[in-house]
Structure 1
Amino acid sequence: MLPEKISAFARRLIVLLALIAAATGAWAQETHLHSAARNGDVARLRALLDRGMNIDARDAAGATALLVATHGNQVEAARVLIEAGADVNAKDGIQDSPYLYAGARGHNEILKMTLAHGADLKSTNRYGGTALIPAAERGLVDTVRMLIDAGMDVNHVNNLQWTALLEAIILGNGGPRHTEVVRMLVAARADVNLPDGQGVTPLQHARRRSFKEMEDILVKAGAR
């Protein structure tokens, strides 16, 4: 009886060790893929993908290799992954996706690729904002233009009850870039009278900050 019990235990132990080895191997593979993406090692990425690597495998933070490449603005690495079918909308643990992060940071070459490969324009970040809102906040003129041209909802309201127009004014510095963003949003039919959660309008915010050029743009568009 005892030898049989030992034999059964040994079999279970072998199965358990095999499962651990498989899991460890998969984790190592994911690490290699993410490392190659982080370093922009295109040849290594292609080799790993040719070996059947899971292209949307996650690291400890929940990020895919494409998101890692996007973090570092590794354009060619991102291109390889996107053209191989990487999910441009796959979110990590803090709700960033390659598309959302590229838009928020002005990584425009990667953003352009995500837009051409199924970017979800309605997807939102951890603040409930679309890619357009942080782009407007940072005064990323070219990025804002790309997102507007892609058909982004310019009147989306985030969890702070702010639109892209409000963020460009409230969190902007009133300089040329933020002013141009305001001009583009107004031209794209942003609601110039849509207030924040406290009922304060874009025009009121611009006046409080003495952003005269923004004020003029808003007034000409019918702001109150």
Structure 2
Amino acid sequence: MGLEFRSLRLRLHVLLIEPARTALHLACANGHPDVVAVLVERKCQLDLFDKDYRTALMKAVQCQNERCVTILLEHGADPNLMDIAGNTALHYAALGSNTSIAEKLLLHHANIEVRNKDELTPFLLAVSENKQQMVEFLIEKEANVHAVDKLQRTALMLAVHYDSADLVRVLLQQGINIFSEDAYGWTAEEYSIFNDLKV
């Protein structure tokens, strides 16, 4: 037990060296759930921002460290805080493929319809990054499939624009309006002609 505690203290000391990030940020980014557990038990502040305006929870999600995510959420970390671009932990989850992390965030009241500065919801972000498993998961969790981004592009337009025929098929099954126009008057069909995508 003494050796294990000294090992934790040494890792904690190393984590404290980098400026602008807390030990909690670094433990989450480097996948050290044992250190995260010690820090939260010692009542560290969970929702501090680093120099990139990210919380430890965002770092844990970004680095796909599910055990760290679980510890933080169970101790009250706020899943709805935003980084400099308006992204929340759920946006970071949408960029990954781990639906289990996204599920945990939603169980801890993450806002499924939150928008970043580009007006992208986690669902629209998952579409634009061609994350089909995440898109299907968010549809199952009743994300608004009719949401549009700041250019009034629908999920269908984004899927066509980013050349994702499989996602186009998934979205068409959701009854998305194929005649919607973006801010420039383009429809999904015109995107498909421009991208030479045939579905």
**TM-score interval for Structure 1 and Structure 2 normalised by the shorter chain:** 0.7 to 0.9
Q: State which of 17, 37, 42 in structure 1 corresponds to 2:33.
A: 42
Distance of 1:107 and 1:85 partners within structure 2: 21
Q: Secondary structure at the match of 2:58?
A: helix
Q: State which of 179, 185, 193 in structure 1 corresponds to 2:179.
A: 193
Measured at CA, do residues 208 and 59 of structure 1 come closer, stay the same or move farther in structure 2, by a change above 3 Å?
A: closer
Distance of 1:63 and 1:29 partners within structure 2: 11
Q: Is the 8 A contact 1:41 1:77 kept in 2?
A: yes
What's the counterpart of residue 11 of structure 2?
none
Q: Secondary structure at the match of 1:55?
A: coil
What's the counterpart of residue 211 of structure 1?
197
Distance of 2:197 and 2:181 partners within structure 1: 17
Distance of 2:20 and 2:145 partners within structure 1: 41
Distance of 1:85 and 1:29 partners within structure 2: 22
Alignment of 1:40-189 (within 5 A): 40-172=31-163, 178-189=164-175
- Cα distance, 1:29 vs structure 2: 11
Larger radius of gyration: 1
Letter in 2 for 1:38: A
Q: Secondary structure at the match of 1:212?
A: coil
Q: Secondary structure at the match of 2:90?
A: helix
- Cα distance, 1:203 vs structure 2: 1.5
Distance of 1:128 and 1:37 partners within structure 2: 28
- Cα distance, 1:30 vs structure 2: 6.3
Q: Is the 8 A contact 1:104 1:132 kept in 2?
A: no
Give % identity: 26
TM-score, normalising length from structure 1? 0.75
Distance of 2:107 and 2:170 partners within structure 1: 22
TM-score, normalising length from structure 2? 0.84
Distance of 1:184 and 1:81 partners within structure 2: 33
Q: Is the 8 A contact 2:21 2:51 kept in 1?
A: no
Measured at CA, do residues 109 and 85 of structure 1 come closer, stay the same or move farther in structure 2, by a change above 3 Å?
A: same
Query: Which runs of 5 or more residues in structure 2 are unaligned?
Result: 1-15
- Cα distance, 1:105 vs structure 2: 3.3
Number of equivalences:
183
Q: Higher helix proportion, which one?
A: 1
